[in-house]
Chain A
Amino acid sequence: MNPVIAHLPVLLLVLPIIAALLILLAGMVNRNFSYPITLATISFQFASSLIIMVSVMTGGTIHYYLGGWAPPMGIELVIDAFNSYVLVVILAMALLIAVYARRGTALDIPPEKTVAFFVVFQLLVTGLCGMTITGDIFNLYVFLEIASISTYALVASGRNTRSLIAGFNYLVLGSIAAGLIVLGIGFLYVATGTLNMGELAAMLPASYGLATVQAAFLLLMIGFSIKVAFFPLHLWLPDAYTESPSVVTILIATATSKVTAYAMIRVIFSVFTLQYITESFPVTEMILVIASIAIIAGAVLAIAQDNLKRMLAYSSISQMGYIMFAIGIANQAALEGGLLHILAHAVMKGCLFMVAGILIYRTGTTAIRQFSGLSKTMPFTCAAFVLAGVSMIGIPPTIGFMSKYYLVLGAVEAGQYLAAAVLLIGSLLAVVYIWRVIEIMYSGSHQEETLHTGAEAPLSMLVPVLILAASCLFLGIFVDVPLAIIEPAVTLLLGVG
């Protein structure tokens, strides 16, 4: 293999960290230098992730030993079908967000802070990449903290004080979660003497009965549940999503939440195993029940919101329930649905939050009732909202429908008819909260009082939105493209046990 490509996994992490430093130094010379460097770095990361995915699909799982030190001495990067897929998804989102951020940050971030903003932005993306590709559970924790601390800073970087409070709340809860996770990792180390995920998976079955291992599992579960805002541990999320600068909201709603969900699934299925969660320590039933509650509760709370960003935040809680639902069912079809939903939710929620950002940029408000008649002045933005919204509801042939179909299929195959019904009712509730916005956007033309300046969004914000909206449709129609990598990924996850 080409030596550059062989070392791509580590370059994916090291170069961006150097770039982050470069952004800072160049930004000190001239503030305007920071943005192009960020964009170039993330483009590089995205291109690398594509190359990595192709080589995983053709050549199988990649094992990369950092510094040539084999585990258990050294840290290992492991890239298989599952995380190469997640990597592409989050870096594609990060790239679109970076394009969007050129104008998108103008409103929320004071000019003197833009350099710092892009440095932290770059660190966050890199931290997420690290979480995704590492094969070492303690290393996972380290990258999680890099990503989390960057996120706290970004959430708090808005102009108003509410974003400071939201950032602080997030910091407190996030730190508790991190504490639980590191404690869990410690227990695993005590039980097995290794931190490498592959070795853990091989050695843990011998000590499945140990209280230490059960405690470790619970600590990890609760820690990650806080991080992914799994109901009822979601309390930090609505404020963090609502009060953050728009660009930050989009990034944490799409990339961060997806990577933490990835990490959770990875720990459950690749460190522990399917057999552990169904037989040794049966928790799938409980996860399924809580996920069902999350789906309904998140959607009901979303219906109750007047603020568009807050509504989308609660919708995210509901949608993360879909991914947890897949873990609760834990069969081939459901997990394919769950993994597909990682992509689907990133694309559609990214699109919706970008539209929300554009609306704030143009109208200065997030109050849903003030969007009346916007479709006249901002036809493309509103059309994108409709398309992504329809996908959120799960109407064919959008990507949101495809993931829902697999989830329901998985539930029915497992004989969980009630859970399948919950999923379908959840999508009906999504109609209520999505359609309310669409109705106001498209019908309010009769009302006199309108805030808007009557202009479509700037091109650099509109293009990412339109790409995502089109993706909602075309990824659904050509769903066999993402499934080509999801299917082996699920086989891998289920096959370990």
Chain B
Amino acid sequence: MTPGILPLLPLLLPIAAAALILVVGRHEDLRESVTLGTAGVMVVVVLAMLPEILEGGRISITLLPLLPGGDLALRVDAFGMIFAITASVLWFLNSLYSIGYMRALREHDQTRFYFCFAIAIAAAMGIAFSANLVTLFVFYEILTLVTYPLVVHAGTPEALQAGRKYLAYLLGGGICLLGATIITYTLTGTTEFIPGGFLAGTGTGLMLQLLFILYMAGFVKAAWMPFHAWLPAAMVAPTPVSAFLHAVAVVTAGVFGVVRIAGWVYGTELMAVLGLGTVLAVIASFTIITASLFALAEDNLKRRLAYSTVSQLSYILLGVSMLSMAGLTGAMVHIPFHAFLKITLFFGAGAIIVGSGREAISEMRGIGRKMPVTAVTFAAAAAGICGLPPFCALISKVYLSVGAVQAGEVILLGVIIASSVLNVAYFFPIIYTMIVARPPDNRALGEVREAPFTMLIPLIVTVAISIAIFFFPALPFLDLAGIALAEITGGGF
């Protein structure tokens, strides 16, 4: 493990940028340059750490002695790198997109918007690189807090209502996470993430099982049912915020946390002994199917996407629940693979709002005729989420299916297949409506136009990346997942 200052930069850069954004707030172009410039530098910094991680190394730095149980400490490892690369690359694209979106709609309080965004990405990086539970918790709570102003950006009673729900669920979850962290510390005297876990041999079985439930309650950001209601409610936020919540950082932080707990706090063996895989499998299967059914019933495009996210996140939980090599690999790589596709869908939904002002799927008949780029990229990403080639999600789904078979759980395979059918059932009608269906009459599309370039470029790029990953999955995500798995299983099952 090499000590190094590099992990600190992805945290400090956005915080410095946030301060700068406040200072130059009035000059819009300058303010947006700060955001974009920082995002660009961050991608470079994160990628600069990649070679060392791919060689199996780790980079660590202790910032402050904070609390008994954990210093404020960062440690970059392969799994954290998966999250960090995803978040930093997508933040860059999302920033580009935000500029187009926010200007096109002449949104208010944009300085506050970019300020919160910058702090939020710093918090996400903190979660990705946290070396122990205390550090993870600190950044987890900060992330909740700074995304709140983004969720209630509109300031309408509806937005405030959604914001209250958002806070209630996420801060409530945060408190469970704090309790779980403290109990873990009391049991073991440490909260440091150790590959393969450190809880084995402490506490009674029942205690550790209850503790796991407490952890799951803590990671309510993973939006597992029935604690998912905050996510569809948060759809009142501007679309770049939805993209941030669904792909870049927030829900990703939730599932990231669950994987961390499973691999680095409990360890797969202890999970299996305690029967926690089954608990997780039940939660995940229930969520996957139910959320897909909810999605079918939604006419609002963004809300349908929200339920799709709820469902897809549980794929990751499902992968963890299998506690097998293939299952965990699928779970880890599904985090970035889902993120790249889902952000495309949200970018598309936002482009449609900007280009036509429409949010209901039933009003989008024939809209693709005027917005071809948006419609095609949206269709591609939707097909990708369903698990069709040539998009990245196919790879993670194959891993998950193999994992289910290896684990001998035919039911789980059934869940994956059923869910894929449901995915098709709720995505293809959207594609049909947008591209194939005729507009109701000739004047219906009169005011519709394609979204501005700054919004289309991110759309095309994310789709391109999703396809590229399909052809070169090892670079870098599968490799990273392999290293992380070797770490937590001590070389193999």
Contacts and interface: CB of A to CB of B under 8 A. Distances in A.
Interface of A: 333, 390, 393, 395-397, 401-402, 405-406, 408-409, 412-413, 420-421, 424-425, 427-428, 431, 435, 439, 442-443, 445-446, 477-480
Contacts of A397: 66, 72, 138, 142
B50 to A, nearest CB: 29
B172 A420 contact: no
Top 3 closest A-B pairs, CB basis? A396-B138, A424-B175, A443-B155
Contact of B186 (A413, A443, A478, A480): A413
B175 A409 contact: no
Contacts of B167: 431, 435
B160 interface: yes
Given A395-B145, A413-B186, A428 B64 contact: no
Given A395-B171, A478-B64, A480-B64, 20 more contacts: A333-B68, A390-B145, A395-B141, A395-B174, A397-B66, A397-B138, A397-B142, A401-B141, A405-B178, A406-B67, A409-B68, A412-B182, A412-B183, A424-B175, A425-B175, A431-B167, A439-B164, A445-B155, A446-B155, A479-B66
Contacts of B172: 428
Contact of A428 (B66, B142, B145, B171): B171
Given A405-B178, A409-B69, A443 B64 contact: no
A480 B65 contact: yes
Given A397-B138, A431-B171, A477-B64, A408 B178 contact: yes
28 contacts: A333-B68, A390-B145, A395-B141, A395-B145, A396-B137, A396-B138, A397-B66, A397-B72, A397-B138, A397-B142, A406-B68, A408-B178, A408-B182, A409-B68, A409-B69, A420-B179, A425-B175, A428-B171, A431-B167, A431-B168, A439-B152, A439-B163, A439-B164, A442-B155, A445-B155, A446-B155, A477-B64, A480-B64
Contacts of B149: 442
Nearest to B174: A395
A50 B145 CA distance: 36
A265 B294 CA distance: 56
Contact of A412 (B64, B142, B186): B186
B286 interface: no
B185 interface: yes
Given A395-B141, A413-B186, A439-B160, A428 B179 contact: no
Interface residues of B, number: 30
Interface of B: 64-69, 72, 137-138, 141-142, 145, 149, 152, 155, 160, 163-164, 167-168, 171-172, 174-175, 178-179, 182-183, 185-186
A445 B154 CA distance: 11
B206 to A, nearest CB: 13
Contacts of B145: 390, 395
Contact of B142 (A393, A396, A446): A396
A405 B160 CA distance: 29
A443 B160 contact: yes
A487 to B, nearest CB: 11
A334 to B, nearest CB: 12
A430 to B, nearest CB: 10
B141 A396 contact: yes
A445 B112 CA distance: 15
A413 B65 CA distance: 21
Nearest to B140: A396
Contacts of A402: 67
Contacts of B152: 439, 443
A412 B183 CA distance: 7
Contacts of B185: 409
Given A396-B142, A431-B167, A420 B67 contact: no
Nearest to B145: A395
Contacts of A431: 167-168, 171
A413 B69 CA distance: 13
Contacts of B69: 409
A376 to B, nearest CB: 10
A247 B294 CA distance: 55
Contacts of A480: 64-65
B406 to A, nearest CB: 38
